[in-house]
Amino acid sequence: MITSKNIANGILRAIGVLALVCLSIYFIYQIQTVIVYLIVAVIFSMIANPIVEFLRRRLKFSNSLAVVSTMIFFLLLITGLIMLFVPLITSQSTNLSLLDTKSIENRSIELYNQLNIYLSSHNIEIEKIFKETDITSRLNFNFLTDFFNSIIGTISSFGIGLVSVFFISFFFLKDKVQFIVGIKKILPNDHEEQILNSIEKTRLLLTRYFLGLLLQLTIIFILYLIVLLIFGVENAIVIAFLCGLLNVIPYVGPFIASILAGILTMLSNIGNDFQDVILPTTIYVSIGFFIVQLIDNNISSPIIFSKSVNSHPLEIFLVILIIGTLFGITGMIIAVPLYTTLKVIGKEFFPENKVIKILTKNL
């Protein structure tokens, strides 16, 4: 029999559950950085584990020595990359005055004056257009400074994150047997094998994907650098590095990189004749970047997507588009790893589903 007391108790329980869920979501939001460190540490541990196993089985290292040696190897690798690129980027960034708002403003005004003279010679009055649209009052010369300052902030937080990830990964690798035993105790017995198989397959696919992505970014950086050096663009290394880094964002990144390259090419050539040097150089660089992106879209990316995660390029495009629409730029970056993980889980737990069969036939 339903009484007012039962109804009241049910409402109180519902409110309590809702409050608990809200508190849990708030707690997760507050420690989201730690969660990201844990996820990255898990992925890094899965990538580093084959090296640890090689040292243990082939070279007969003890488990602790194998883990320490592997961590030192990755630390030296990252340090080497930093020592290779950072001095070049720092020196060229100084020359380009990327962090000097006043310099950017002066260069932009000078570029505008040269553009105005060039268009006036072709009977196009840019000042009249700007006055009618009131564009000049809306220009913000701080956008490049803010952009590069955000990169510096990201790099500084990257240092903290790197230490945290290495620390967590060390214990994941060193005490992996205890972790596996603990996970097995938590997992339901009926699905233990499926879950462990999913983890192993995901590790293999994501390792291949991230290595392929690193190779792709390196190739793009080299091609961008070649284009910039061919046309004599100053500060070629920093421009190529920044534009190559933007390719981490699928589809949107290359478009932003082309615009950024055009702007920085113009700013780097301030002082030269607009019609004879600045405009032709910018056009040639834009064409060169377009060719690089054609190479990437038709060679590099298809190989990475088809060989590393066994997915069709069109399939990947739709996934990135959907997740990017829902979660923005971050969603676009994590779309492929997330989709790959879901495919592996789907194949393990729902192998007879017709849709899953079609999507995972190459896994």
Q: Across the chain, which distance is largest between two alpha carbons, in Å?
A: 91
State mean pLDDT over 256-283. Answer: 78
pLDDT value of residue 98: 47
**Residue 272's beta-bridge partner residues?**
270
Task: With 0.85 as the threshold, say if the pTM is over it.
Answer: no
Q: Minimum mean pLDDT among 100-104, 118-122, 355-359: which range? A: 100-104
- What confidence tens digit (pLDDT) does each residue in 191-248 have? 667 777 777 787 777 777 877 888 888 888 899 999 988 888 877 887 888 888 888 8
Whether residue 356 contacts residue 342, with contact meaning beta carbons closer than 8 Å, is answered with: no
- What confidence tens digit (pLDDT) does each residue in 130-145 have? 555 555 455 555 555 5
| Neighbour-count burial of 228, counting CB atoms closer than 10 A to its CB (0-12 exposed, 13-18 middle, 19+ buried) | buried
| Owner of token pair 């607009």 | 274
Measured between alpha carbons, how far is residue 346 from residues 194, 205, 285, 307, 362 in Å?
Answer: 10, 15, 45, 20, 13
How would residue 153 be classed by pLDDT, with cut points 50, 70 and 90? low
